[in-house]
Amino acid sequence: MLTSIYAALCAILVVVLAARVVFFRRAHKIGIGLAENRDLERRVRVHANAVEYVPLALVLLGLLELGQTPGWVIHLFGASFFICRVLHAYGLNKTVRTSLGRLIGTLGSWIIIVLMSVMLLVHTLMGMQ
C-alpha cells in the first residue's frame, strides 16, 4: 500500500519533532508546561501542528488509495503533503513570524487536504450511483 510510505515518513517526522521538545525540556530542566520559554513554546507548537494535520491527511490518502485512485496521484498527494509538513516545521522553527516555509507548508497542507477531500467525495458519490 503506497500510503504506508507516507505514513512512515510522517511518523518519523512527528517523532523527530517530539524528540526536539524532549531534548529541549531536559537541557533546560522544564518538566511540564512551557515555563514562559518562547523557544520551548515554538517547539511544542511545531510538533502539535504536525500531530493535528498528519492523521487527517493520512486517513484521506489511505481512503483514496483503497478507492483505486491511481498510484501516481497517491504519490503526488503523499509526497507533496510530507514536503509541506517539513517546510512548515522548518519555517516555524526558525521564527514565530511569517516565513516562506511556514506559509508554503500551511497553505500547501490545506490545499492538499481539501483536494483529497473533494476527490474522495466525488469518487464516493459517483460510486453510489
Tens of pLDDT, residues 77-88: 999 999 999 999
End-to-end, the C-alpha distance of the chain in Å comes to 27
Cell reading at 127: 460510486
Nearest Cα to Cα of residue 90 among 128, 42, 55, 58? 42
Tens of pLDDT, residues 57-78: 999 999 999 999 999 999 999 9
Domains of the chain: 3-127 (1.20.120.550)
Specify the amino acid at residue 48: A
Specify the amino acid at residue 10: C
Say if residue 129's pLDDT is above 70.
Answer: no
pTM (2 d.p.): 0.93
Whether residue 109 contacts residue 50, with contact meaning beta carbons closer than 8 Å, is answered with no
Distance CA 38, CA 57 (A): 29
Tens of pLDDT, residues 18-45: 999 999 999 999 998 889 998 999 999 9
